[in-house]
Chain A
Amino acid sequence: MNLQPTANTEAKSPLSLEISGISKSFGRFPALRNVSLQARDKEFLALLGPSGSGKTTLLRVLAGLERPDAGDVRFDGEDFLSIPVRHRRVGMVFQQYALFRHMSVAQNIAFGLTVRPRSVRPSKSEVADRVADLLCLVQLEGLGSRFPAQLSGGQRQRVALARALAIEPKMLLLDEPFGALDAKVRRELRRWLRDLHDRAGVTTVFVTHDQDEALDLADRVAILKDGELRQLGAPNDVYENPADPFVYDFLGAACRLPGIVEGGRLRVADWETKAETDAPQGRVEVYFRPNEVVLAPLDGAGLAGEVRAVAARGPDVRIECLIEGQIFELESRGPGIPAGVAPGLALRIKPLRPKVYAAQPRV
């Protein structure tokens, strides 16, 4: 259901942002290594990765605040790197918002318009109209005369967004847009931001370390680690088919067991099943999601395990199982605890969709 519209937009809209072979080092620390990716016109692209993965550096390269050591950035076919920052027309929203504290909200939003050269500067009344429109858009009507210090975190974030939108940016860049907000406000703003993006129709790149946020919001997700692009794809695609163990692990809870693929069969401990045709041969790592398992009686198929603890937590039931000497926290749909499951029970656990990766040499 989610895949269909994404596929459509991918077919229709042309590429607007093309990043190719970007590398950037700070001293001897490589922040970005040969990163290439593209965003389509009006696309909402997430740069997802743990801290230190280079995602913010990449965003700053796009804004022009950081000059890459190598590589090329094109926007609508134009060489973006040769355009000075202040002529790029990118709307950047900083993680800490970077509002001008000595200016009122309205002055903050109007800043990008009032610093224009006189010949292209809108008149005072036009600026006032535009500020009023933007205040309305970010739902801060009537707060134009306040100062940033008098606003809540969520309100400040929306001022920063309105300020960035005021210059009618070609591209919107958001650095951890919800990073400094509490969980409830985050969730509210998430949907609102997606709405806003759809209405404003601007190519948007946002940085986050929260996989939930990226999967929920973005049209496509680029997953970075140690300055390298690991995978780029639609949220559902990357979740269903993670390119490597890191991506699998990063996108959600994961259980891992060693296994062997031989003659088209996957063997994990005492459980054997058909291996996927493209699975690597020999020693492998088997990954599965803790909520994608079937519990079976001891004479059924699956991994032999023993229940250690059971706890119902709201919509889910957590079942702690001992499998192959490791404790796994499995999840089962609640609200009730499945009949008969109790600590001490020996049972079989069958992963529904095991994902197989070639075993990594231990480091």
Chain B
Amino acid sequence: MSDQTRHIGSVELRRRPWLQHSILPGFGLSLGITLTYLGAIVVLPLTALAIRPWELGLHGVWHELSAPRVASALKLSFGLSALAALLNAPLGLLLAWTLSRYEFPGRRILDALVDLPFALPTAVAGLALTAIYAPNGPLGSLAAKLGIKTAYSALGIFIALVFIGLPFVVRSLQPVLQELDHEVEEAATTLGADARQRAVRVILPAMAPSLISGVSLAFARAVGEYGSVVFIAGNLPGKTEIAPLLIVIKLESYDYAGAAAVGVAMVAISFGSLVLINGLQLALAKRGKA
């Protein structure tokens, strides 16, 4: 019996040349579970979502997405998310650097603070931010004196998205910074590099892949952010209305297909940008390996 199975096994291996032989057992089982799980958790709901809007017909979907209110909500969501993630890149880098490179009293507390936007229920974050940035809040009133509207404007949304994205960038970079071989920097110094050259030519390139992955996580999170944004946004249609909120509004008026259309558009744009970012990251990471 065991002979027979082995024989069948080897025949199967030869029939599937794309399958690389691994000495680890359990490939079939683990792949099976992986596929089932991903299918049930990710693909199935997304498929349902993707099927839904087409009851409007191709023309209907196009009409739905090109409506000025939808288009501006999508633009606002993705534009501000990208900006917030980009701002978090240098600032997150600085935070990660400070937290992992220096020893100072209170470092651990600061380190724990970074995680707070992760842990806080987003609605709580929204309430807290609105309290500060509202025209009668401490920072909001200050900004109002300068003629800048913080809460209930695009700037308010931007602030909320920066807030929730920060931990992603910091936490992606910290382990790399800690692992970075100190001798590499010392080598650069003995070769005559000054502090700026070490940072730009030695440290940054080593961190680029993780920085990109942190930024892309922050971006992905910001696109889907709802709770904290709706409090501070003001939610004026066409001006400060984000795409996730628009979906909720459509659902509340029983426009399921319209909501799904916006949802599909978001999934498509998100997926496209993530693929792009991953490609860039892979290209960068490959330079050091392979």
Contacts and interface: CB of A to CB of B under 8 A. Distances in A.
A100 B190 contact: no
- Summarize B's interface: helix, strand, loop or mixed: helix
A166 B188 CA distance: 13
Given A86-B193, A115-B192, A100 B184 contact: yes
B190 A86 contact: yes
Contact of A88 (B186, B190, B206, B289): B190
B189 interface: yes
Interface in B147-195: 181, 183-184, 186-194
Nearest to A84: B189
A96 B183 contact: yes
A85 B193 CA distance: 10
Contact of B192 (A63, A96, A147, A167): A167
Interface centre among B181, B187, B191, B202 (most CB of A within 10 A): B191
Nearest to B184: A98
A149 interface: yes
A147 B284 CA distance: 13
B288 A115 contact: no
B190 A92 contact: yes
Nearest to A107: B201
Interface footprint category on A: 20 to 34
A98 B187 contact: yes
Interface centre among A88, A98, A102, A150 (most CB of B within 10 A): A102
Given A94-B183, A100-B184, A112 B191 contact: yes
Contacts of B193: 86, 111, 115
Contacts, number: 76
A87 interface: yes
A293 B209 CA distance: 64
A150 to B, nearest CB: 7
A99 B188 CA distance: 9
A158 to B, nearest CB: 15
A175 B111 CA distance: 36
A96 B181 CA distance: 10
Contacts of B186: 63, 65, 92, 94, 98
B47 interface: no
A90 interface: yes
Given A98-B183, A100-B184, A102-B206, A147 B288 contact: yes
B23 interface: no
A85 B188 contact: no
A91 B186 CA distance: 11
Contacts of B192: 86-87, 89, 112, 115-116, 167
Contacts of B189: 65, 85-86
Given A98-B181, A147-B287, A150-B290, A115 B197 contact: yes
Given A98-B183, A100-B184, A149 B191 contact: no
A163 interface: yes
A12 interface: no
A362 interface: no
Contacts of A166: 191
A163 B188 CA distance: 10
A85 B181 contact: no
B205 interface: yes
Interface in B43-94: none
Contacts of B191: 86, 111-112, 115, 163-164, 166-167
Interface in A113-134: 115-116
A85 B192 CA distance: 8
Interface string A147-177: 1011000000000000110110000000000
Nearest to B182: A98
Given A147-B287, A150-B290, A91 B190 contact: yes
B116 to A, nearest CB: 33
B197 to A, nearest CB: 5
A112 B188 CA distance: 8
Contacts of B205: 100, 102-103
Interface string A138-150: 0000000001011
A199 interface: no
27 contacts: A64-B190, A85-B189, A87-B192, A88-B190, A94-B187, A96-B181, A98-B183, A98-B184, A98-B186, A99-B184, A99-B187, A100-B184, A100-B188, A100-B201, A100-B202, A102-B206, A102-B287, A111-B193, A112-B192, A115-B192, A115-B201, A116-B192, A147-B287, A147-B288, A147-B289, A149-B289, A167-B191
Interface of B: 181, 183-184, 186-194, 197, 201-202, 205-206, 287-290
